[in-house]
Structure 1
């Protein structure tokens, strides 16, 4: 019997190829997108879950009263180790590390790599395995290194490289060979070796290597290390609050005691909750989009199934007259519906395979392969198909099978009230969602364009930057200043600057107060270490004074440049009033004389207001990382090639790994750019699903009203009049849906934009474009479908049925 139901269902699908294709295509697109987003969400939820003893692993975070005093990500260097030593009943293990970047070389290969200097507990605490090497001895030698498989292939072309040597350069300009003691197995994404997406470490050095690199992993006044602890079974983070506060109070500087509140975040949650919860927000946003797209696809499917049901009343009557039982008719309808959804699901799985690379690229995250899920995952699509199939087939199965045979044969609708209002509500919901998604996409695009093309207060055009070898001494700074000057003499170069930071959100916390004022009322601000060419290279306008002196003199080390916000915060309303004034930093006896005041400019994301900022001379700090080069307009490719050639001559062992400043700015808005791409994809899919639904419903409407069209033509109706008949049926619904969705879209995007200190104003443009686009597409589809029926011979129309 089941085989007979299946055979009849298959014949019914083949008989109505057009409706079947529309239904299957719309539903398969919705299912495929939902599966892809589901796979993305599942992958994001799995981060850190496969670490050893993951339930007991925590990262120590820092909450600072004054955000300029430290980072939320890092903690006091001495805290993790001391917690383990003083409270062994609470803390089972610890791991902390310092992240640095340095030039790594082998033969003629020179690259700048991210390096993690940390404790020997790295492998045992998290269960990271070695593909090659002995985990027990991996970190015993101060000049040993554990590397990733990717790095081994990059330098050696193979993974079994234990005993080979890589040369690493210190921050004093010295070089030393590090023997590879282990090669890590392929690591799952985690927040230990890759604490965030911008910090992928490939080389892991023992704690003793810190001395060579000029770093330290100890000290209570060192708060720039990432720290983790593993709690004993049954211990909660709340039990560590008191011990952490006690140790800080007993050992840390008073300023740290007054400002710092440490807290623990479970590593299983950290990836989603850290960095302001950007991953969690993205998961929620994409899940919501996928849910509504799937809902629209299901509504389409159900709507067309219900619409077709009335046209099968005579079939039901004939089946009943010939002895068909009601339960057989119910099974028949349900089988047809489930078969349709099963086919759509299989096509969706194929679409998953095709679309996965493109969505992975759009989201900047690798979406899980189709066959990489646990076995039980593969039940979900087919359980879903069964449920949707039953839902779509329930109405025709129960209602049409209950009709009297005589009424069915006559095609009477008196007992089968087609819920026109209900169907119009469903169609309206779809159009409303399509308009909302499209409006949201346009506003997100406008805000991202404002970020990338708006006035940043400085000129990022034609600026390239690259990290340089480090010798943090007076001699090292002088050498780099000489190289800077030689590069600036190139005909393709406008200016060059040596600095510790570029304007990409980085900076160091600083405090200043006017000489003679109370040090406790010092103004917190961001601090940049630059040379005298920084303002010229980045086109930062000066409001008063000078940006140090045209040529460095020892006196520049005692000078400081501030921005307009800092000038006002320190009590000078006019920039020129600040020039020549003396300021101090708390805890320092060295006074600084303000030599210049710059205009305010964005050094980070536009989510935050521009705050006070100061510039100290790189010769004073003796810390530097970047050379920023302002190229002259023209052939950029030739200019960069010439710059690379000159760089190689001046610094033969330093890789020229350059980036344009536009790329650095774009990285500040990675989440927004991903959201923009996802919203565009969602907008296109939404419109496709809605228009497929319109095609199906118009086709059904034309099929049901074939005789009516013939009668109208006989009575003198024109082709435009018949087309207008069908347009009225849908355009009113479209416009009402769009009008309802506009205020909802406005509220959603107004709330989203409130998260940014600098934002666009919402205008009527996105709303008008969305409404016009949907209206025009709907008119085109309806016209194309109805024109065939409108111009056909009315005799054929009147002979139907």
Structure 2
């Protein structure tokens, strides 16, 4: 029986080639979207589940709360240096801890083989306690994980870095040099681990022992429980320990260990325990991540989008099948006359839809694999063909295909199986079902989807354009930043500045610790003179050299620029004045005080700079203090040339003449600014792609419904034409109902789009206002697409020979 149904279904699909092709195209496009999203979303799950006793691993989070206004100022995925080991001492449920310091982007350390002068700024450098491999599972190719990070100046390399540095030779016990100049130190390779075996938020390129000099020694020396929240701290609980119960004890722990530190810092803080397995998906709003994380809400939104697009494809199938019902009326009449039951006919028609859906599933797999490079570029993912051919994904895809086929075929099956054989055999073909409200509702749903997605694309594009064109407070177009990187190079800043100033195409040169648009992580608590030093305000700070403002184009609202001999003189931005309620005209007579561990430092304000952005537009501009630094981390150059190839070559020659063993590393500031809006740009591209696909599928659905209407009104059109009706009047007859559907969809879709896009914009401090014309434009776009799609079929019906449609009357 099943074989017979399959054979009948196949013959029917082959017989109706146009309908089959359109249905197959819609289902294939929808299923490709669905499979792509499923593969991407599935790849975001399963992070950090491979570690031994992974459910017992937790990260210590820190929420700092201002005593001044009792609000959460920050939410970090890090903690103060002494907290991890203090937790192990005070809580028997903690079996092991590990601290990690991450050399973030822009702070990479210079690394080279001891007998080579060629160094590299290697990314993803970690400094970690010797317990690292007791908490986290990484297959070691060389060395012993339990011993590898115990000795000072020891380092474990990733397999990729080991091959880069030593080729096919064994790296174990080889010597490397970290840093340069007086601060360089010799490092012994004590292990090599296999990189990229498992999905994890910890992706080190190399791991330096915490017992080493430099940052490791600094971390070990800090005993303050309030400040210096830059250390990624991890705990491993004993099996069966209740993490939630322990978390409730952390406020008392913090008060017992650090009440005086918190009072001196002027803020309160809360410690939280976050499961390591949750870090990749549930870290929205948490700052100072050690690696790029995903967002579970974003993934749910993608899954919803996949379901909507697949549903739109199902709607097409319904409309096309009901539109062509009259073509199969005689077949059904004959089958019923010879004894076919309604149930068997329903099974047959469901079989056709399921078969077509499964064919679409088979076709979509190689198409999706071929589109993986495009998907990776669109989402900045790293999907490979094994993510698509994953057994769980394929089984889920099969279920999607079955459900799609059943949903798409159920309503047409009911309509077709209900045809009366007596009427059909008398020549009366009636395939009407109610008043057609169900099919109209389906098309309205498609219009709502299209209008909502088009609105989203317009608003995301507007916000991105606003962000890109907004005055950042500095001249991003003509700035180039060169990294000094090592202390040896920083000490030679004056020589570098002097030599680069004389290069053709360079108009201004200055130094800074963080270039414009770079993320500033350093801050300190400050207060006004005579005020309570336990009620401090966080102020970011950045070192600059004289001529900095002339170079970057940031304007001074009052006062003067910094000078080479300034020590306690500083420049603040307007946001600092606002925070401390200082009037601009009083700023140059004001001072700020920093009190830390009982010692106070006073800073004289000699200048006020306009507010400039040093973070994304999602954040308000924070107070910042700029001080004189004669040994900066970056050289910023203002350029006046279009021949950047020659300019960069001259800069590199100058650099090599002063720092022959340090790599020449540079970045264009406008490119760095673009990174601030990378998430919005990616969202805009994803929205545009899926909007176009949804509209394409919806057009097929419109074609199906107008075909149905034309089929129902075939004889009416013929009579009208015989009586002298024009082509224009016939086109109006077929299109007016669809214009009403667009209007209904506009009224429903616009508030839906407004609600969701307004919520999205709430994440930005600096944002556009949603204007009414956006919805009019989206509705107009839907109207134009409808007229083009419906108009084609309407004109085709209007110019048809009326004799053919009236021949049976």
Alignment TM-score, normalising by the size of structure 2: 0.90
Instruction: Tell me how large the CA RMSD over aligned residues is.
Output: 2.7
**Residue pair 1:61, 1:73 contacting (<8 A) in 2 also:** yes
Secondary structure of the 1:65 match is: strand
**Residue pair 2:130, 2:147 contacting (<8 A) in 1 also:** no
Are 2:552 and 1:538 equivalent residues in the alignment? yes
> Residues 369 and 455 of structure 1: is their aligned pair in 2 closer, same or farther, counting only changes over 3 Å?
same
Q: Match of 2:156? A: 146
> Residues 692 and 166 of structure 1: is their aligned pair in 2 closer, same or farther, counting only changes over 3 Å?
farther
Match of 2:569 among 559, 565, 570: 559
Are 2:638 and 1:630 equivalent residues in the alignment? yes
Hey, what's the Cα distance between the residues in 2 that align with 1:216 and 1:517? 31
Secondary structure of the 1:274 match is: coil
Displacement, 1:776?
Answer: 1.6
> Residues 590 and 352 of structure 1: is their aligned pair in 2 closer, same or farther, counting only changes over 3 Å?
same
Are 2:492 and 1:482 equivalent residues in the alignment? no
Alignment TM-score, normalising by the size of structure 1: 0.91
Q: Match of 1:219? A: 222
Cα shift readout 1:617-667 (whole Å, capped 9, x = no counterpart): 224xx5x43222222242333333332332233222222232222232233
Hey, what's the Cα distance between the residues in 1 that align with 2:162 and 2:581? 56
**Residue pair 2:570, 2:628 contacting (<8 A) in 1 also:** yes
Q: Match of 1:660? A: 668
**Residue pair 2:37, 2:303 contacting (<8 A) in 1 also:** yes
Q: Match of 1:266? A: 275
Cα shift readout 1:543-600 (whole Å, capped 9, x = no counterpart): 1111212xx12xx0121111122124334312x4211433321134432221111111
Are 2:215 and 1:207 equivalent residues in the alignment? no
> Residues 306 and 787 of structure 1: is their aligned pair in 2 closer, same or farther, counting only changes over 3 Å?
closer
**Residue pair 1:313, 1:409 contacting (<8 A) in 2 also:** no
> Residues 117 and 21 of structure 1: is their aligned pair in 2 closer, same or farther, counting only changes over 3 Å?
same
Hey, what's the Cα distance between the residues in 2 that align with 1:431 and 1:450? 28
Displacement, 1:442?
Answer: 0.9
Secondary structure of the 2:680 match is: helix
Hey, what's the Cα distance between the residues in 2 that align with 1:400 and 1:650? 84
Match of 1:694 among 702, 710, 734: 702
Q: Match of 1:110? A: 119
Q: Match of 2:745? A: 737
Hey, what's the Cα distance between the residues in 2 that align with 1:401 and 1:159? 74
Match of 1:766 among 764, 771, 774: 774
Match of 1:727 among 731, 735, 742: 735
Match of 1:168 among 178, 190, 194: 178
Cα shift readout 1:384-426 (whole Å, capped 9, x = no counterpart): 2222322333334345434442123235466852541111111
Hey, what's the Cα distance between the residues in 2 that align with 1:70 and 1:736? 45
Hey, what's the Cα distance between the residues in 1 that align with 2:650 and 2:16? 66
Cα shift readout 1:254-310 (whole Å, capped 9, x = no counterpart): 243652221111111122222417612321332232222222222222232233334
**Residue pair 1:130, 1:185 contacting (<8 A) in 2 also:** no
Cα shift readout 1:193-252 (whole Å, capped 9, x = no counterpart): 24xxxxxx3111122224487643453225321100011111122333365445543443
Q: Match of 1:33? A: 33
Q: Match of 2:590? A: 581
Q: Match of 2:611? A: 600
> Residues 717 and 156 of structure 1: is their aligned pair in 2 closer, same or farther, counting only changes over 3 Å?
farther
Hey, what's the Cα distance between the residues in 1 that align with 2:590 and 2:393? 68
Secondary structure of the 1:461 match is: helix
Hey, what's the Cα distance between the residues in 2 that align with 1:216 and 1:90? 24
Hey, what's the Cα distance between the residues in 2 that align with 1:694 and 1:159? 65
Are 2:260 and 1:254 equivalent residues in the alignment? yes
Hey, what's the Cα distance between the residues in 1 that align with 2:58 and 2:796? 68
Q: Match of 2:192? A: 182
Hey, what's the Cα distance between the residues in 2 that align with 1:719 and 1:153? 74
Moved more, 433-442 or 154-163: 154-163
Structure 1 unaligned blocks of 5 or more:
195-200
Q: Match of 1:590? A: 601
1:309-708 matches, within 5 Å, as 309-367=325-383, 369-370=385-386, 375-410=391-426, 412=428, 416-471=432-487, 477-502=490-515, 503-549=517-563, 552-553=564-565, 556-574=566-584, 576-587=585-596, 588-619=599-630, 624-708=632-716
Match of 1:82 among 75, 80, 86: 86
**Residue pair 2:322, 2:415 contacting (<8 A) in 1 also:** no
Hey, what's the Cα distance between the residues in 1 that align with 2:219 and 2:229? 11
Moved more, 767-776 or 6-15: 767-776
Q: What is the number of equivalent residue pairs in this alignment?
A: 782
Cα shift readout 1:300-327 (whole Å, capped 9, x = no counterpart): 2223223333442221111122343444
Q: Match of 1:98? A: 101
Displacement, 1:528?
Answer: 1.5
**Residue pair 2:573, 2:611 contacting (<8 A) in 1 also:** yes
Hey, what's the Cα distance between the residues in 2 that align with 1:70 and 1:794? 74
Hey, what's the Cα distance between the residues in 2 that align with 1:378 and 1:271? 24
